[in-house]
Structures are given as C-alpha cells and as structure tokens.
Amino acid sequence: MKYLRITLILLCLVLVATSVYAAKPAKVTLHKSQVLSYNLAVEPETLDPAKSTGLSEARVQYASFEGLAIYGPNDVPVPGAAQKWTVSPDGKTYTFYLRKNAKWSNGDPVTAHDFEYAWKRLLDPKTAADYASNLYYVKNGEEYNTGKIKEDSQIGIQAKDDLTLVVTLNAPCSYFPALTIHPSLYPVNKKVVSANPDKWATDPKTYVTNGPFKLVNWVHHEKLEFAPNPYYWNKAKIKLDKLICYTIEEQSTGLTMFETDQLDLLDELPRQEIPRLASEKLIKYSSSINTYYYLFNTKKAPFNDARVRKALTMAIDRNLLVKYVTKAGEKPAFGFVPYGVPDATPESVFRTKGGNYFKDGDITQAKKLLAQAGYSDIKKFPAIEILYSTSETHKVIAEAIQEMWSKRLGIKVTLTNQEWKVYLQSREQGNFQVARASWVGDYVDPMTFLDLWVGNNGNNFSGWSNPQYDKLIDKAKSTADQKLRMQTLHQAEKLLMSEMPIAPIYFYTRPYLMKNWVKGLRYSSVGYIDFSGTYIIAH
C-alpha cells in the first residue's frame, strides 16, 4: 500500500537489499521485561487476510504475516518474504525470488506455491473477498473473479518453482511491489487453510503465519497476545518477548490505562482530552493518508438523488468540526484524495492540484438543492439515521453533524451505534442510510482512493456506480504515462464529487501516545505499525 516514485538507481538498490532497517542503537540498557501493551480498540472482525477489511485487522496481520515486500524507511517497499524482484522491460511481468530461510510459524517452508494459492484464493468467487480487486491488475484476475473464466491456471500468477513467483500484469503498474504489502496479498499455508477453511484464522493453534510474531492467545473482547515467531527468517531482529493488543473500545478507559502505565502505546484518544495532552507535550504524530467520510446508501430514497446527497454534504461545517470536535489538527476535506499523495511528479500534491469541489457549510446552496429535489417544504423530508461503529470519536462527530443537519436544514436525524463486527456487516449488506466510514490508502497513489468507487469494487458499499467513472479508472490503470494517468484520475474525482455518493469530512492526522521507554517502533503513512524492531529500555 505504499508507492513512492524513486529513481531507477534507488530502485535497484532496494531490490538487492537484504538487510533490515532500524537496528537497535548501541549502548542502551534493555528492560528485563520486553513486553509491549497496545490498545487495538476493536475486536477484529476476522484475521483471515483474504476476508479482513479494517485497519485494526491489518495492524495485527502486519505483525504476524509478511508479504513479498515490507515497508522500509520513508515507506519505500523493501524485500520481505522475497529477497528481491525483477521487472520485465515492458513493465508487465514481475518475478519475485523468495528467501530460502523463510518459514511458517509451524516450521514449514514458505514457498511461492503458498503465494499462488493465497492470491488465487483471494480471487476465487467463492471466497467473496472485498479486496479481490487488488489483483485485478493481474492478467485474467478480474475475469476469474467475475466468473468470465473458470480455470485459475489462466490467471497471471504462477509459482515457477518453490522459490520463484512470476506475476503477469495487464499493464505496467509502478506501485505493484507496494501493493504486495497489503494483507490481502499475504501468503497463507495451504495445508492449514484447506484443512479448516472457515475456522483456521480463529484459533491461535491453527493461525499459522510467516511474520515476526505469532498469535498465542485470544481472549475475545479483551485482548490478543503474540510471541516472537521462532521460525521467522529475521528472528534476530525481534527484541520483544510479548506483544499484547487490547480490544478496549472506550477511549477514556484506554487513556486511563496509559496514564497508569498499563498501556505503552495508544492511538485512540478521547477528543476532549487532546488539548490537555497536547499542552503537556505528550502527543506524537505520525504521517497519514486517510480520509474520514460519510457514506450514502444510494439505493435508498432520498439518497438516490444526487441533489440530496450534495445538500447534506454542503451543510456540514468542516472547519468548526475539526476545530471544536476532533481537535487533532485535521484538515477539512473538500475532495476525497487526501494531502500527502503525490501528483504526476513527486514534488507535486494531488489534492493541491485538484483543489476544492464544494464550499464549507454552504447552507444557501444546500437548501436550493433540496428544493430542486422536491423538498422546498422540508417537513416532507423523511427522518434519516446515521450509523457509526462504537467509538467516542465517531459518536461526537455524529452528534455534531446531527445538529448541523437538524438546525441548518430542519431535518430530523437519529443516531445508531453498533459494535465493530455488526457495523461492518450492516454496511456490507446495505442496512443503513448514512454510515460513517474512513479509508486509509493501501499505497501512496490516488488510485487507492479512487478505484474504491468503481461499480464492482468489493469495498464500495454506497450502491453507486457510473460507467463513465469506471472507464476513467480503467484508462488510468492502462497507461504508464504519469501525466495522462493523473489527468484521468483528476477527471474521475471531479465526477465522483459531482454525484456525491460520499461526503468527505476531514483528512486525518494520526495522534498517538507512547511511553518514552518504547524504542524502535514505526508507523507507516497507511497506518500499519511495525513492531518488529521495537524494544523496551530500562526505566
């Protein structure tokens, strides 16, 4: 999920690299207890890489699995399970060479056949994976997933031998190595998964992984515990003896645990406490490419009318929201692609070039649009419901938007919160009118935000589709001309914002609290946490 434009020379250096960054500095005294406690904040919906969709799940998977590539310094993809890769002159064929000493947590060797099995399983229509579209870049990947072809041997994914994976793409894709870092493209152990396809990822005994840590205990709705994977190819890098991920939803409880030294790391913070924590200089920030938005169910009236969707979007005062509600330095969102994503050149910014697509808190235009949609008498507008997942932050945001729509437009709004798993199911099944959502980039490119809204994307829960939009995304995916590709993506975003199946609200910052005795921990801009080089110094 991370793509940075780099020169061919730098890329070659990356491909031959075998060492791992962030080595432990010399002359430090390690604490006798190398245990790190972190609040994941939600109970994972599933830990199956082919079926999970949330950032919380991805954080667990990034600690316990390893893709062909991993994130290196500045989020540049560097070798992971693959010791190197090469690209054909036409940019369409990637050959990944796996490490001979890469092993699963049960001692089995990690092979190219594991990757082939996992990727084809992701594409298998029977898996019903929301992230199957991540492999639509691959030759016949979409055709197999949509049932146009039946034989998976026709997909451009082939284990040439135990250590060589050959991937054939439809068109050049400069960020494909970064895409292999996404959990959906992690390998799975065929023997383990095929023996228990529905429950292998629910039990620590069968949750066989190939990353730095292995799951050893899962107390549902309380915590997940991890120990170092003794068979990990780079196990010498691991300093932690245990990683504990709590699943405490109440942000105030998490903060209390941090302040009483029961947690070492916390990134779900009560919004009302952020000014105090900032004044005490306790808050740290990591880079982030993430958009917070509201999702309209365009299959249900009145949200099947773009004018209604636009009116509700325009009636939200984002500047007030980020100043008085979220309070963490977020930027109001007047488009969908966030800042921090380059345009045609590394020094250019896609959001800056694209600009704003609507005004903040434009009540006059919102009322005009509602009148055009047949609601000049607002009493005729039906009561609507905002759905959000249980979280103090989502709650206060929903309450603020409820008040804005009620007082500014005269619309009756109710709020419903659901536990994470139930909320995800409601969104996927279309059991909502308006739902909070967020999207963190899977890699650093506008495409990861914009191909989300093509009609057949498994993560598009809006019900909205537009053939012209889909053609623009296909066009952008089929060209290696960066200038043309970005022009096309700007056209796609403009079309998306003209029909508003979503209401962008703000672009995230990522505030977190971390004890000063924690060293070597890294956040990536897509939100993953690298615990592999983390250690605890004496305190």
For 267-314, how does the pLDDT look when each residue is reduced to its tens digit (9 = 90+)? 999 999 999 999 999 999 999 999 999 999 999 999 999 999 999 999
Residues found in the chain: 539
DSSP string, 311-334: HHHHT--HHHHIIIII-S-PEE-S
Q: The sheet that has 384-389: what strands, in order across it?
A: 331-332, 502-507, 290-296, 434-440, 384-389, 413-418
Q: Which of 14, 363, 323, 52 is nearest to 182 (CA)?
A: 52
Nearest C-alpha neighbor of 305 from the set 499, 95, 115: 499
What's the rounded Cα separation, in Å, for the pair 239 and 518? 11
Q: How confident is the model at residue 486 (pLDDT cuts 50, 70, 90)?
A: very high
Q: Predicted confidence band at 16 (pLDDT cuts at 50, 70, 90)?
A: very low
Ranges of beta strands (E only) in 62-138 are 69-71, 77-79, 82-87, 93-98
Could you tell me the pLDDT band of residue 460, with boundaries at 50, 70 and 90?
Answer: very high
Q: Between β-strands 242-246 and 35-39, what pairing exists: parallel, antiparallel or unpaired?
A: parallel
pLDDT score recorded for residue 289:
96
Judged by average pLDDT, the poorest of 20-29, 101-110, 227-236, 472-481 is: 20-29
List pLDDT tens digits, range 141-199. 999 999 999 999 999 999 999 999 999 999 999 899 999 999 999 999 999 999 999 99
Query: What is the torsion angle, in degrees rounded to the nearest 10, for the CA atoms of residue 304, residue 305, residue 311 and residue 317?
Result: 20
pLDDT band at 107 (very low <50, low <70, confident <90, very high): very high
Q: What is the per-residue pLDDT across 205-262, written as a single tens digit (0 to 9) for each?
A: 999 999 999 999 999 999 999 999 999 999 999 999 999 999 999 999 999 999 999 9
DSSP category for residue 138 = B
Q: Are 189 and 71 in contact (CB under 8 A)?
A: no
Q: What angle do CA 56, 393, 265 make, to 5 degrees?
A: 50
Per-residue pLDDT, 5: 36
- 471-476 average pLDDT score: 96
Structure tokens at 160: 């040439």
pLDDT at 26: 58
Per-residue pLDDT of 404-431, as tens digits, reads 999 999 999 999 999 999 999 999 999 9
Of the candidates 392, 413, 406, the residue with the CA atom closest to the CA atom of residue 327: 392
| 21 pLDDT higher than 90 | no
Q: What domains are there in the chain, each with its CATH number?
A: 8-234+511-536 (3.90.76.10), 290-508 (3.10.105.10)
Task: Give the pLDDT score at 27.
Answer: 78
For the chain, the average pLDDT equals: 94
Q: How, if at all, do strands 434-440 and 384-389 pair?
A: parallel
Token pair, residue 233, equals 């190819």
| CA dist., res. 442 & res. 69, Å (int) | 13
259: helix, coil or strand?
Answer: helix
> Do residues 389 and 44 lie in contact, with contact meaning Cβ atoms separated by under 8 Å?
no
Position 340 pLDDT exceeds 70: yes
Lookup result for tokens 């200089």 = 281
